[in-house]
């Protein structure tokens, strides 16, 4: 697979580095919630699927998994201002601790919107775990409670992150170096 990658992809995080970040985050999550208190992990589709799969395997407490999908990017790399729910959660979150799982926070619009919505749905608490945080791009308030790394303002692919729906399956995170299209 690697031999077929475009030359302008520069590795930012290796599989080992990602594994360490995920393990670190899971430990902190386990420490923060009361022992044995159940967690509802809600992955934000599609990008969070790989991170969610790795994160929940490291969390040592009873948990359930669900997904939500909201529109943000189309096939380009620019975010649109409005957020729409394309697929809602299916479990009952009333009185439950909810952990929103994202692979990256950019403008913050998607998570800000989803968090408000789930909090309004009667969750006991709603926290955010995002592997990456492109903090300098923030347009609305959104602070991940758990974060693996703060990343610079570059377009990234791999480990769930796509470019026109491709490259989500890469096990590493790459920076797209020639960013004319960004």
108: contact with Mg ion by CB under 5 A: no
Measured distance CA(52)–CA(102) in Å, rounded = 8
Residue whose CB is less far from ligand IMP, 94 or 166: 166
Residue whose CB is less far from Mg ion, 61 or 135: 135
List the one residue from 43, 47, 108, 144 that touches Mg ion (CB under 5 A).
Answer: 47
Burial of 103: CB neighbours in 10 Å, binned 0-12, 13-18, 19+: buried
Q: Annotated catalytic, 32? A: no
Angle between helices 49-58 and 15-32 (to 10 degrees): 60
Piece of 43-51, 120-128, 142-150, 168-176 that binds Mg ion (CB under 5 A): 43-51
Interface with Mg ion (CB under 5 A), residue total 2
43: contact with Mg ion by CB under 5 A: no
Residues that bind ligand IMP (CB under 6 A): 44, 47, 72-73, 79, 102-110, 134, 155-157, 161-162
Of 54, 106, 133, 162, the active-site residue reads 106
158: contact with Mg ion by CB under 5 A: no
CB of 53 vs Mg ion, minimal distance in Å: 14
How many CB atoms within 10 Å of residue 24? 13
Name the site residues for Mg ion (rule: CB under 5 A).
Answer: 44, 47
Catalytic residues: 106
């Amino acid at each position: 697979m690697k031999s077929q990658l475009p030359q302008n992809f520069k590795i930012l995080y290796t599989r080992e580095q990602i594994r360490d970040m995920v393990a670190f985050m899971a430990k902190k999550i386990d420490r923060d919630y009361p022992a044995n208190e159940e967690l509802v992990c809600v992955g934000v589709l599609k990008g969070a699927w790989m991170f969610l799969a790795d994160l929940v395997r490291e969390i040592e407490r009873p948990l359930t998994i669900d997904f939500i999908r909201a529109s943000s990017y189309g096939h380009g790399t620019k975010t649109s201002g409005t957020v729409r729910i394309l697929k809602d959660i299916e479990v009952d979150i009333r009185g439950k601790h909810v952990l929103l799982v994202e692979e990256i926070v950019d403008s913050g619009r998607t998570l800000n919107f989803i968090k408000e919505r789930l909090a309004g749905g009667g969750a006991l608490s709603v926290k955010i775990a995002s592997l990456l945080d492109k903090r300098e791009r923030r347009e609305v308030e959104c602070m991940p409670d758990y974060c693996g790394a703060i990343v610079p303002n570059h377009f990234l692919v791999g480990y769930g992150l796509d470019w026109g729906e491709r490259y989500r399956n890469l096990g590493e995170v790459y920076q797209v170096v020639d960013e004319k299209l960004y």
